[in-house]
Structure 1
Amino acid sequence: MDKLHTKATVLIVPGLRDHVAEHWQTHLAASLARVRSVPPLTEDKLNCRARVEAIAQALAQIDGPVILVAHSAGVLMTVHWAQQHQHQIKGALLVTPPDLYASWPAQYPSQETLQAGGWYPLPRTRLPFRSLVAVSSNDPLASADAVRAMATGWGSELVELGAVGHLNPASGFGPWPQGLELVRRLDAMDVIPGKQ
């Protein structure tokens, strides 16, 4: 299979479940020529600061512009990282961010656990790079209105996906060809003056 050769290096930022073989991020990584992934944590897996530091360490090993591709809690990690660090980020694809203030299904961490891990408050300031926020109309972890509000705060362009659940294997994804197209779109964009 021919791999997409992007000008920027793509950095995959997984959610709390880290790297899942059948996840769309894993399929996306396999279809890219210039790609890295934030390695999974071996301890403090629910510690937001540790997750942010893992992103910073991964970026420190990449020369040149980067496109971030984050899913679920990986979006929250990315937004926390962007408030604290700088790097040459060409753009970010932020897919189905969860709403920290919603009631999540029982198999997910509780609000108390996330509070103890330093996830609150979620930054709502404008991101210093281009970003696309992909929103599902039936995500069990966030209402579409909550995700739209996040995108507005971050200055992101919204990409409406329709009813795709949380866009994870439990929702039937798997390969997600649109993700590759959105990465291609970010890679083709010029850097906005005044942004990283």
Structure 2
Amino acid sequence: MPVTDADAVPRRTVVIVPGLGGSGPNHWQSLWGAENPGWRWVRQRDWDHPVADEWLASLEEAVALAPSPVVLVAHSLACAMVVRWAETSARAGRIAAALLVSPADVDSPDHTPDEARVFAPVGMGRLPFPTLVVASTDDPFVAPERARAFAAAWGADLVEIRDAGHINADSGFGVWPLGQDLLRELIEDG
């Protein structure tokens, strides 16, 4: 899924933004990153105990260092982080588009662990860049109606997948071809 010719500055810089726990080696984010060594990653000091200011600073740095407009690829807790970041960062204008997959409902103790509360409340303002939310009808970390409310509030398009769990390796998602197709469309449109 190359975004540009190998010798040119990329038209878009893809930045992968993992959620709580990071993305293990079998997670679709890791598999996509391995196929696309020019893509960037947001790195965190501690994937299991997020500190909001640290996580936001890591995202800010990744966007600042990108050589071209950015397409964010966030999963789970990282979706709430991206929304919080977009509310306050002057660099949000560098975002060409965002793919937000399985947004965790950090406001709900029934759906997310206490560690996720660092990004509560979930921002419900319109995002200043084109956004696609992908959610599952049986995600344990967000109720379907809440994922729909997020997408509507953020001004995002929504792709709802039936019975796909948390859309991660534990749910049986490896390389996730549908996700690659959705990202490709977002890059081409962005």
TM range (shorter): 0.7 to 0.9
More helix by share: 2
- 2:99 match: 93
Give matches, 1:11-50, under 5 Å.
Answer: 11-32=15-36, 34-42=38-46, 45-50=49-54
Which fold has the larger relative contact order, with Cα–Cα distance below 8 Å and residues 6 or more apart in sequence? 1
Give the counterpart letter for 1:151 in structure 2.
Answer: A
* Alpha carbons 1:19, 1:40 under 8 Å: kept: no
Is 1:132 aligned with 2:132?
Answer: yes
* Paired residues for 1:1-196 under 5 Å: 3-6=1-4, 7-32=11-36, 34-42=38-46, 45-85=49-89, 86-87=91-92, 88-104=94-110, 109-110=113-114, 113-115=115-117, 117=118, 119-190=119-190
Relative to structure 1, the CA distance from residue 120 to residue 42 in structure 2 (aligned partners, 3 Å threshold; closer, same or farther) is: closer
Q: CA offset at residue 101 of structure 1?
A: 3.1
Identity level (%): 37
Scaled by the length of structure 2, the TM-score of the pair is 0.88
Q: Which residue identity does 1:98 align to in structure 2?
A: A
Amino acid at match of 1:144: P
Instruction: Indicate if the aligned counterparts of 2:22 and 2:47 stay in contact, CA closer than 8 A.
Output: no
- Residues 17-66 of structure 1 show CA distances to partners (whole Å, capped at 9, x for unaligned) of 11311101011112335310101224893212211111001111112111
The list of structure 1 runs, each at least 4 consecutive aligned residues, that deviate by more than 6 angstroms after superposition, is none
SS at the partner of 2:105? coil
Give deviations 1:58-114, integer Å, cap 9, x for gaps.
111112111000000010111111011124111000001011233446xx622xx54
Residues 43 and 13 (structure 1), Cα distance of their counterparts in 2 relative to 1, 3 Å cut: closer
Q: CA RMSD in A?
A: 1.9
User: Aligned pairs, how many?
Assistant: 182
- Unaligned ranges ≥5, structure 1: 191-196
- Tell me the TM-score normalised to structure 1 length: 0.85
| Farther off after superposition, 10-19 or 28-37 | 28-37
